[in-house]
């Protein structure tokens, strides 16, 4: 009995032990797992985050993988605690899945490693995360998305808002180190702090190249290494296809290494990148439109804007680079106005102080420094004298040639012929006579295409040119022989309906800042002829001799825009057989032959009577035009015999008197018989002639 009890007790104890073990293991599962109820936390099957609570619980599983399933609002967390720190790093993966996180507020001015994620390391990956309206205050290593990343990756992410820190402060990432990489990301964050401040990244100390990044927020600092994109670009990190547009300001007397794109760099490659913001230095040095100071290779990059150096002694300022220690600047330019009030200035339109090589580059901005020192329109001071194929604008007021770079007029700088040895096939583009050369990757170029717009045959012309802003386009002709049935080609229009200006071959227009499409303008052909009047042929008398009938000549004139083909004239009506038509002489009317004629007359041998027929003129595409033709065949009239008795007597003369006094009316035949002199008037002269015949004094 005791033995059985002991066995049962052993089973119960074993069950309790297993249960406790399972519950203990579950306690270690990330809270996000238990809250979300979706996914297993692996790279292939990440936990799905749909609430702020679940996002907050990510800190309980720093090695797992997560993906947002909806937008998240963190406003309920008034002072967010960053996920991961320098002791417990985030080593998993977080995919924002294109969703947006709003309401992120962090107010921890005495703490470091500040951001949505405080510290990301090893294989940690953050991608596709979008932060909107952040409000962050931290100390060192402060970024809206990541405070510090070591060996990890940030890609395709963005942030907007405001941020304040001390050192290593970036609009998206505070500091990236070792092989950590930041690619395809952007920030529109206003950044303030002391040193190593960047619109996107405070300090990039990674060997991995970074590409396709952008920043548009203003960056203000009181110390060193302040850049529109990166504050400090350390050894090995190369920058490609990136740009910054925010203003950079150094507001302290000791502010230095200020750049529109990068504050300072080591021997890095910067290519296909640019900065367009203004740069201001209160009392500092090493100020550049693109790079404050550094070395390496700068290629196919540019800067524009305005540099202001308010004070200081011997500040280096350059439109592209403030101070270039070593390396090469090639195929780059600056269009930056530089002004300063320092005691002694080293200002250059492209480089303030140069110890490297400059090739195939130019400066187009005005350089003016009020203090003593060395200022140059291209280079302020050059220790190496290795400037080749590079130019500046000599038309700008105050430019003084210091032997570094070749002076060229504005007109010369707008002509490709000036830039001997430059590659205008793959590197540069120029809007001839309109603009300075531009680097191809950054130039908005436009095309002109032609559209047949309903054409039935033929082809449109091809314009293979690429046009820059406000280029003048010369319109091509209808070289491909476009045809549209029933229409004539009238030129080209930018409106498919043909409204607005119409361009002929050789006309020009300004392309502006958009692609242009020219539509064939068609004018509907009209197939018409002039008015044809009715015809009354000269009267005939019975027994008229063949060939004595009048031949009526009718002129047909083309009045439309379409060519008239198969022109013909025909007779119809009951009397059609009593007339005959000859012609038309031409059966096609066009621009060369706009008119033709045909004839109509009565046939021979018609008996007494009145004959009427309809004449119809036809042509292809044209409705027939008609008119009538009339022929009268009357009996033979004896002059003086108006009453038809075959005699000429006083009774006929009396009829004239009665007609003139209104006592009788006369038929046309009677009038004709009594009009003895055929002058169309009956009067006493006709009476006298009749009486003379009657008395034998004259003949009828």
Distance CA(440)–CA(360), nearest Å, equals 15
Residues 6+ apart with CB under 8 A from 535: 552, 554, 600, 615, 627, 628, 629, 630
> 682: which DSSP letter?
-
Least confident of 1-15, 289-303, 409-423, 462-476: 1-15
- pLDDT digits over 271-292, tens only? 999 999 999 998 778 999 999 9
Kindly state the average pLDDT of the residues 235-247: 93
- What pLDDT score does 33 carry? 44
Residues 6+ apart with CB under 8 A from 140: 112, 113, 165, 166, 167, 168, 174
- pLDDT digits over 424-444, tens only? 999 999 988 888 999 998 888
For residue 230, what are the β-bridge partners? Answer: 201, 262
The candidate with the shortest Cα–Cα distance to 642, out of 698, 687, 697, is 687
Residue 597 tokens, joined: 């004629």
Q: How confident is the model at residue 46 (pLDDT cuts 50, 70, 90)?
A: very high
Distance CA(101)–CA(70), nearest Å, equals 9
Q: 486 versus 247: which is more confidently predicted?
A: 247
Residues 6+ apart with CB under 8 A from 115: 82, 106, 136, 138, 142, 143, 144, 145, 146, 147, 173, 174
- pLDDT digits over 506-563, tens only? 999 999 999 999 999 999 999 999 999 999 999 898 889 999 999 999 999 999 988 9
**At CA 27, angle to CA 21 and CA 28, rounded to 5?**
100
Please determine, for residue 699, whether its predicted confidence score (pLDDT) is greater than 60: no
> 71: which DSSP letter?
-
The candidate with the shortest Cα–Cα distance to 700, out of 636, 640, 656, is 640
Residue 388 tokens, joined: 């080749």
Distance CA(190)–CA(215), nearest Å, equals 10
Sign for the pseudo-dihedral over CA of 38, 43, 49, 55: positive
- pLDDT digits over 138-186, tens only? 999 999 999 999 999 999 999 999 999 999 999 999 999 998 999 999 9
- pLDDT digits over 376-410, tens only? 999 998 877 799 999 999 999 888 888 899 999 99
Distance CA(105)–CA(32), nearest Å, equals 21
Kindly state the average pLDDT of the residues 291-300: 97
Q: Does pTM top 0.85 for this prediction?
A: no
Average pLDDT, whole number, for the chain? Answer: 91
Long-range contacts of 653-657 (CB under 8 A, 24+ apart): 653/687, 653/690, 653/691, 653/694, 656/682, 656/683, 656/686, 656/687, 656/690, 657/687
Q: Tally the C-alpha atoms within 13 A of residue 339's C-alpha that lie toward its C-beta.
A: 6
Q: 463 versus 30: which is more confidently predicted?
A: 463
How many CB atoms neighbour CB 99 within 10 A? 17
The values of phi and psi at residue 624, to 5°, are: -65, 140
Residue 260 tokens, joined: 């529109």
Kindly state the average pLDDT of the residues 77-94: 96
- What pLDDT score does 640 carry? 87
Q: How confident is the model at residue 27 (pLDDT cuts 50, 70, 90)?
A: very low
Kindly state the average pLDDT of the residues 226-237: 92
- pLDDT digits over 304-348, tens only? 999 999 877 667 899 999 999 999 999 999 999 999 877 667 899
Q: What percent of the chain has pLDDT over 70?
A: 93
- What pLDDT score does 314 carry? 66
Distance CA(507)–CA(651), nearest Å, equals 84
Distance CA(453)–CA(460), nearest Å, equals 10
- Listing DSSP states for 88-152 in one string gives S-B-SEEE-TT-EEE--EEE-TT-SSBSSEEEEETT-EEES-EEEEEEEE-SSSEESSEEEEES-
- What pLDDT score does 12 carry? 39
Distance CA(646)–CA(380), nearest Å, equals 128
């Amino acid at each position: 009995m005791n033995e059985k009890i002991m066995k049962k007790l052993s089973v119960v104890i074993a069950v309790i032990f297993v249960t406790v073990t399972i519950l203990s293991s579950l306690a270690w599962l990330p809270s996000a797992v238990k809250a979300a109820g979706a996914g297993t936390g692996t790279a292939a099957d990440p936990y799905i985050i749909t609430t702020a609570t679940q996002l907050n619980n990510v800190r309980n599983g720093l090695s797992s993988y997560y993906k947002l399933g909806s937008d998240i609002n963190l406003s309920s967390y008034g002072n967010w605690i960053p996920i991961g720190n320098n002791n417990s790093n985030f080593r998993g993966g977080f995919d924002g899945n294109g969703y947006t996180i709003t309401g992120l507020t962090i107010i921890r001015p005495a703490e470091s490693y500040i951001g949505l994620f405080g510290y990301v390391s090893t294989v940690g990956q953050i991608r596709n995360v979008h932060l909107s309206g952040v409000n962050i205050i931290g100390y060192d290593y402060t970024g809206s998305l990541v405070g510090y990343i070591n060996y990890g990756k940030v890609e395709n992410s963005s942030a907007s808002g405001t941020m304040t820190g001390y050192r290593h402060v970036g609009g998206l990432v505070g500091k990236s180190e070792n092989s950590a990489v930041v690619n395809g990301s952007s920030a529109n964050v206003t950044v303030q702090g002391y040193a190593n401040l960047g619109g996107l990244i405070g300090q990039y100390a990674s060997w991995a190249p970074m590409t396709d990044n952008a920043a548009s927020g203003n960056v203000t600092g009181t110390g060193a290494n302040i850049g529109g994109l990166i504050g400090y670009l350390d050894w090995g990190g190369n920058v490609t296809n990136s740009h910054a547009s925010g203003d950079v300001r150094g507001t302290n007397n000791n502010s230095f290494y200020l750049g529109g794109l990068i504050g300072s760099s080591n021997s890095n490659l910067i290519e296909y990148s640019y900065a367009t913001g203004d740069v201001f230095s209160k009392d500092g040095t090493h100020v550049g439109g693109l790079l404050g100071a550094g070395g390496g290779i700068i290629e196919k990059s540019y800067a524009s804007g305005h540099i202001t150096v308010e004070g200081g002694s011997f500040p280096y300022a350059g439109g592209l680079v403030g101070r270039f220690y070593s390396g090469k600047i090639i195929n780059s330019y600056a269009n930056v106005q530089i002004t300063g009030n320092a005691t002694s200035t080293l200002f250059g339109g492209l480089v303030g102080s140069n110890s490297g090589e400059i090739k195939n580059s130019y400066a187009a901005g005005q350089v003016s420094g009020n203090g003593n020192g060395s200022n140059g329109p291209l280079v302020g001071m050059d220790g190496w004298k290795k400037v080749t194929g590079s130019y500046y604008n000599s038309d700008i007021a105050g430019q003084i040639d210091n032997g570094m770079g070749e002076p060229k007029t504005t007109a010369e700088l707008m002509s490709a012929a000036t830039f001997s040895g430059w590659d205008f096939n793959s590197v540069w583009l120029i809007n001839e006579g309109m603009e300075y050369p531009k680097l191809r990757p950054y130039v908005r170029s436009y095309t002109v295409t032609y559209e047949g717009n309903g054409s039935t045959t033929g082809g449109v012309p091809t314009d293979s040119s690429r046009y820059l802003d406000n280029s003048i386009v010369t319109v091509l002709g209808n070289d491909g022989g476009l045809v549209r049935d029933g229409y004539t080609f009238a030129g080209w229009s930018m409106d498919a309906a043909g409204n607005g200006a119409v361009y002929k071959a050789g006309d020009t227009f300004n392309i502006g800042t958009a692609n242009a499409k020219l539509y064939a303008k068609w004018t509907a052909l009209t197939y018409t002829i002039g008015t044809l009047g009715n015809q009354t042929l000269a009267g005939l008398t019975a027994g008229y001799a063949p060939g004595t009938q009048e031949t009526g000549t009718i002129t047909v004139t083309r009045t439309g825009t379409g060519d008239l083909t198969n022109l013909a004239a025909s007779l119809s009506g009951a009397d059609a057989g009593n007339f005959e038509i000859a012609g038309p002489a031409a059966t096609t009317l066009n621009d060369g032959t706009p008119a033709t004629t045909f004839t109509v007359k009565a046939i021979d041998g018609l008996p007494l009577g009145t004959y009427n027929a309809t004449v119809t003129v036809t042509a292809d595409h044209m409705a027939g035009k008609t008119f009538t033709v009339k022929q009268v065949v009357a009996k033979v009239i004896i002059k003086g015999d108006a009453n038809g008795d075959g005699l000429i007597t006083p009774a006929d003369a009396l009829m004239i008197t009665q007609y003139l006094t209104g006592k009788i009316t006369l038929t046309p035949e009677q009038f004709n018989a009594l009009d003895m002199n055929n002058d169309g008037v009956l009067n006493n002269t006709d009476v006298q002639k009749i009486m003379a015949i009657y008395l034998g004094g004259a003949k009828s």
